[in-house]
Structure 1
């Protein structure tokens, strides 16, 4: 019989926050820009995505995940990819986010 006592426990609790996210029923295209999107179209889409994040009950968990995973694309936890890169370049800020 295989000894499973040394295997890590269930990790479902690390991802349960996603079940409560405001974006679950939203179109994912709102959060990730299409190829060659620029200017006011990009700004409007990004603001619409951030407005979903603003009312999300798990925004902080989402933001922490995106920063820890260094998500390179999209709006996560109310931050754009560029905003996340800026946070990650600033020493000590990630821990407070």
Structure 2
């Protein structure tokens, strides 16, 4: 799947994204202009059977833009921060 935006994201065929609710939805919905609503994109993600995999992909690949797994970049930053704190606490 390739998103037609300023940010090109290429995902090879034959993986979790083939089951995603967003398949066939206008990619611009998931890459809103700064300050625009993310509500519609998150609604597509809600109930998606692969939203966890999508979110993990974005976290593992440090996706800086767009809605992934129902979360914005700001929300994903919080998850990354929390995970880092958890790892530090477990290590020491």
TM-score (normalizing by structure 1): 0.68
For residues 75 and 86 of structure 1, the distance between their equivalents in structure 2, rounded to whole angstroms, comes to 14
Report the counterpart of residue 78 of structure 1 in structure 2: 70
**RMSD of equivalent CA atoms:** 2.0
Equivalent pairs counted in the alignment come to 74
Unmatched segments (≥5 aa) in structure 1: 1-11
Q: Which has the larger radius of gyration?
A: 1
Cα shift readout 1:24-45 (whole Å, capped 9, x = no counterpart): 11100100023xx42xxx12xx
Report the counterpart of residue 30 of structure 2 in structure 1: 31
TM-score (normalizing by structure 2): 0.72
Unmatched segments (≥5 aa) in structure 2: 1-11, 88-92
Q: Which has the higher contact order (CA 8 A, sep 6+)?
A: 1
Alignment of 1:41-80 (within 5 A): 42-43=36-37, 46-80=38-72
CA displacement at 1:69 relative to structure 2: 0.7
